[in-house]
A = this chain, B = another copy of it.
Amino acid sequence: MTDDSQAGGAEENIPPELNTLRNSIDNLDAAVIHIMAERFKITQRVGELKAELGLPPSDPAREQVQIARLRTLAEDSHLDPEFAQKLLAFIVSEVVRHHTEIAEKK
């Protein structure tokens, strides 16, 4: 194990091109983690607001519009739209779980 801060592991044993690619993956993953941290701060407030207003934690109509928009963005950026939709579903399911917990605490 080297003492670098990236997640390359035992870098001396892997091909240089693979190591370079993995460093880029690690940078992009760090960006996603930080975006997700901001997104959860916002959805935390959404959950509180919905609980205050008596709105249900999940909103199927909003989710349908989100799915359609993200599939289009995925197609435009050459990402598999199915993956984009599954990723959103995964994130939303976590958020709804948080919202339900917030609502139950009130």
Contact = CB atoms under 8 A, between A and B. Distances in A.
Interface of A: 5-10, 15, 17-18, 21-22, 24-26, 28-43, 45-46, 49-50, 53, 55, 61-62, 65-66, 68-70, 73-74, 77-80, 83-84, 86-88, 90-91, 94
B37 A7 contact: no
A39 B21 contact: no
Nearest to A34: B77
A48 to B, nearest CB: 10
B79 A37 contact: yes
A65 B15 contact: no
A17 to B, nearest CB: 6
Given A21-B46, A22-B46, A90 B88 contact: no
